[in-house]
């Protein structure tokens, strides 16, 4: 069925939102509103412009951080995958970044860079870049040697082998890393707004919680999830467009 994936997505959303509505009506907690109440609050935030103003602030560090993480992450991951020495030198840094508790690092960033945009961009990069780097390096490193040798046999230069063989072969895993990086970047952006200074969507969440306006708080949280899903869907469509008709996935023979 052509529309089966779409129907399954709608069914999944119906089950989740239905369970949310039931849990809110029981209720499981006085601080847990129903889905309908949260949707009403979401619509109110849209109509009065609060949501748009909030996202104008939230998207600044998110977009800058994700772009920096994507370009630097793919470049560094490519270097790690191609050079064993570079791998030994650099990859432990990103492994530590991925496992380190970010909440403990935020005060250090605030001390060095203050409470402005720079600190928030750093938080997004710390969250997003390790995933992108490690996925890219793993994909490049696992490109079948036979394909690379074939390129050399046809007198391909090192740059041509990288651009025409290694990167296309590694592209599915690289895009998987980008999707994971974007998801982590969203977490970093909101965490920065909650921990560094309450601005944007983080300000809506903090303020709504302080006045016990729980429908607005959940509406803001749901808007983050919705925007993240849209970003990931755009990345998936971009991947399908760029590599349409080509057989990728050479990283596993």
What secondary structure letter does DSSP report for 28?
S
> Would 2 be classed as within a structural domain?
no
Question: Helix, strand or coil for residue 132?
Answer: helix
Q: Exposed, middle or buried by CB within 10 Å (0-12, 13-18, 19+), for 120?
A: buried
Is residue 69 assigned to a domain?
Answer: yes
How many domains does the chain fold into? 1
| DSSP summary character for residue 169 | H
The residue range of the domain holding 78 is: 55-242
Share the mean pLDDT of the chain. Answer: 83
For 86, how many CA atoms within 13 A lie in the half-sphere containing its CB?
12
Q: Judge whether 196 lies within some domain.
A: yes
Residue 85 within any structural domain of the chain: yes
Using one digit for the tens of pLDDT, what is the confidence trace for 94-133? Answer: 888 777 777 677 777 777 777 778 888 888 888 888 889 9
Contacts of 58 (CB under 8 A, 6+ apart): 189, 190, 193, 199, 200, 201, 202
pLDDT band at 243 (very low <50, low <70, confident <90, very high): low
Task: State pLDDT tens for residues 210-227.
Answer: 898 999 999 998 888 888
Task: Answer yes or no: is 66 within a domain.
Answer: yes
Q: Is the pTM of this model over 0.85?
A: no
Q: Tokens in use for 36?
A: 């309908």
Whether 205 is in a domain gets the answer yes
**Residue 4 forms part of a structural domain:** no
CATH number for the domain including 192? 1.10.3720.10
CA–CA distance, 142 with 148 (Å, rounded to integer): 11
Closest CA to 59 of 205, 238, 176, 190: 190
As a whole number of Å, the end-to-end CA separation of the chain is 30
Task: Extract the tokens encoding 73.
Answer: 């992450």
């Amino acid at each position: 069925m052509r529309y089966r994936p779409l129907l399954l997505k709608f069914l999944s959303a119906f089950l989740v939102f239905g369970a949310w509505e039931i849990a809110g009506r029981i209720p499981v907690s006085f601080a847990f509103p129903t889905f309908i109440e949260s949707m009403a609050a979401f619509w109110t935030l849209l109509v009065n412009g609060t949501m748009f103003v909030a996202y104008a602030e939230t998207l600044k560090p998110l977009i800058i951080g994700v772009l920096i993480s994507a370009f630097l992450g793919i470049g560094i991951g490519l270097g790690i995958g191609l050079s064993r020495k570079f791998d030994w030198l650099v990859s432990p840094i990103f492994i530590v970044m991925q496992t380190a508790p970010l909440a403990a690092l935020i005060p250090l960033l605030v001390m060095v860079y203050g409470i402005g945009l720079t600190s928030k961009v750093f938080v997004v990069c710390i969250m997003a870049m390790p995933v992108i780097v490690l996925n890219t390096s793993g994909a490049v490193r696992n490109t079948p040697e036979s394909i690379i040798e074939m390129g050399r046999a046809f007198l391909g230069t090192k740059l041509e082998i990288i651009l025409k063989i290694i990167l296309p072969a590694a592209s599915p895993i690289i895009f998987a890393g980008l999707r994971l990086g974007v998801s982590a970047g969203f977490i970093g952006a909101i965490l920065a707004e909650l921990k560094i200074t309450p601005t944007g969507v983080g300000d809506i969440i903090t303020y709504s919680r302080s006045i016990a306006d729980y429908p607005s708080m959940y509406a803001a949280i749901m808007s983050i999830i919705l925007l993240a899903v849209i970003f990931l869907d755009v990345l998936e469509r971009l991947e399908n467009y760029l590599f349409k008709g080509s057989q990728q996935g050479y990283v596993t023979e």
